[in-house]
Amino acid sequence: MYDENLSLITLEAGQDLSAKQFFCVSIAADGQIDPSGDGALVDGILQNNPASAGEAATVAIAGISRVTCGGNITRGDLLASDSDGKAVVATANEEIFGRALSAGANNQVIPVLLKFSGRAPKP
């Protein structure tokens, strides 16, 4: 497991994110971060575990990060967020945030090449 060439930014947590390290996050209208929704735009991967709203949240926006799987993933899969902010295989019209660098299963942490590249194509 590794992180490499990470570009990081610091934002405020919008809620208790102590159990969301290595989950997908999105910037809300108030400028704070929350777990990303199902197929929603992912702004980065949470690198720390802020315990309450307003605490500093470190977010990876480029490079190779770790991410928590929300199901079975194969190396090379394009990834999107599920409703909990976990990484899943992107399906039609979901926002792609990266490519899996190894295989994983539900709740495993795997490396991902962050590639915020828009929506997955329709089948």
Range of the domain at 113: 1-123
Cα–Cα–Cα angle for 117, 32, 58, rounded to 5 degrees:
70
CA count, 13 A, side-chain hemisphere, 57: 34
β-sheet bridge partners, residue 13: 33
78: Cα separation from own chain's centroid: 12
Which tokens in the block code for residue 44?
Answer: 């980065």
Q: What is the pLDDT of residues 11-61, one digit of tens each?
A: 999 999 999 999 999 999 999 999 999 999 999 999 999 999 999 999 999
**Portion of the chain with pLDDT greater than 90, in percent:** 86
Q: What is the pTM of this model?
A: 0.93
State the DSSP code for 99: E
As for how many domains the chain has, the answer is: 1
CATH of the domain at 19: 2.40.300
Strand partners, 57: 11
In the block, residue with structure tokens 């902010």: 85
Residue 123: is its pLDDT beyond 70? no
48-83 per-residue burial string, b: 16 or more CB within 10 A, e: under 16: bbbeeeebebbbbeeebbbbbbbeebeeebbbbbbe
